[in-house]
Homo-oligomer: A and B are copies of this chain.
Amino acid sequence: MKLSKETIKNLLAEKGLRITPQRMNILEAIYTLNNHPTAENIIEFIHEMHPNIATGTVYKVLETFVENKLIKKVKTDRDFMRYDGLLEKHHHLYCSESDTIKDYVDDELDNILKDYFRKNHLSGFQIEDVTLQIRGTFDK
């Protein structure tokens, strides 16, 4: 999921965010790394080409991106944050034996869930979004 500089610029511009080299690099890193990187993964990746980008900046930029819905935080039960650049609706496969998280996209599943929650209204709760955590192991 490698994006061109132009596409990345447009993504930022659409959200009314200033286009800075740091933001472009960080967004590019997330799309290139693409397997739900941690802040550290992103920093490491960027430092190979741009060693002068600051840790604090990366965290600030990531927060900005989350607020502007360019990326999402991924829920985990580990003590560090992971980020997700896939904007399309999707679910996650969590590996029990490693830190791998893979995306799972399927319209049929989404329709089944939509149907279920249309029929079974949760009283006192307005649903915004439903995603599955599918825990298991990848075949060796």
Contacts and interface: CB of A to CB of B under 8 A. Distances in A.
Interface string A45-65: 000000000000000000000
A96 interface: yes
Work out how many copies of this chain go into the complex.
Answer: 2
Nearest to A106: B120
A125 B136 contact: yes
A79 to B, nearest CB: 7
Contacts of A113: 132
Nearest to A130: B134
A108 B109 CA distance: 15
Interface of A: 72-77, 79, 81, 93, 96, 102, 104, 106, 108-109, 112-113, 116, 120, 122, 124-139
